[in-house]
Amino acid sequence: MLFLPIAVLGLAHVTRHRAPRLTAAGILLTMWGFWGFHNVLALGYAAGTIAPRALGVDAAVRLNEAFLEHPGSVMGALVPHLVGSFLGLVLLVMAGWRGSTLPRVPLARLLAFLLWDFLLPLVGPLEAHLLLLVSFGWLGVHVARMSWREWSGTGDRGTY
């Protein structure tokens, strides 16, 4: 999770020249989604790790259920994560697809990850996040090997 914000910020930097509106909306939604995901992790840590030792297992289960029923935790964690991450990554993939600097196969795999993660069940030992890892790894290597002209979106060295 540490490298996901770095990956989407790098993707947004590359796509901002060809599709600035899609990139701006996509990066804002994605970062909002990552903020929600961190809230989901914090709630899970509190209910699953701290609460059983402090309150007992039965009370920890009730706490976890209360988190899921409380509108504050739903609107402050689940909705930002599910809506922001999904729509934001879709918009960033669309922005990358519009430009000609990113390969389309990892962008398509990134969309496949979203569809698999949100709509389909696990398939044996495979997990949807493997597609996310492969997609961002592929895009990361591609971005790292880009020329200055492709990376900056200009023809001039040292110009942003």
Residues 50-106 have pLDDT tens digits of: 999 999 999 999 999 999 899 998 999 999 999 999 999 999 999 999 987 889 999
Domain for residue 159, yes or no?
no
* pLDDT score, position 146: 86
Q: How far apart are alpha carbons 144 and 56 in whole angstroms?
A: 49
What share of the chain in percent tops pLDDT 90? 57
Domain for residue 121, yes or no?
yes
Question: Above 70 in pLDDT, residue 129?
Answer: yes
Q: How far apart are alpha carbons 82 and 131 in whole angstroms?
A: 18
Q: How far apart are alpha carbons 101 and 112 in whole angstroms?
A: 20
The distance of Cα 81 from the centroid of its chain, to the nearest Å, equals: 9
Q: Which residues pair with 126 in a beta bridge?
A: 123
Q: List Cα–Cα distances, 55 to 50, 83, 154, in angstroms.
A: 8, 32, 58
Q: How far apart are alpha carbons 94 and 25 in whole angstroms?
A: 11
- What the block records as the tokens of 141 is 């290597």
Question: Above 70 in pLDDT, residue 157?
Answer: no
Total domains present in the chain: 1
| Structural domain harbouring 111 | 4-152
At 158, is the pLDDT very low, low, confident or very high (cuts 50, 70, 90)? very low
Question: Above 90 in pLDDT, residue 152?
Answer: no
Domain for residue 158, yes or no?
no
Question: Above 60 in pLDDT, residue 160?
Answer: no
Question: Above 80 in pLDDT, residue 154?
Answer: no
Domain for residue 122, yes or no?
yes
* pLDDT score, position 21: 95
Mean pLDDT of the chain: 88
Among 54-58, 121-125, 143-147, name the most confident range: 54-58
CA atoms within 13 A on the CB side of 113: 22
Average pLDDT over residues 135-141: 91
Predicted model pTM: 0.84
Greatest CA separation found in the chain?
A: 63
Identity (one letter) of the amino acid at 122? Answer: L
Domain for residue 31, yes or no?
yes
Q: How far apart are alpha carbons 63 and 84 in whole angstroms?
A: 25
Q: List Cα–Cα distances, 78 to 23, 38, 107, in angstroms.
A: 23, 10, 25
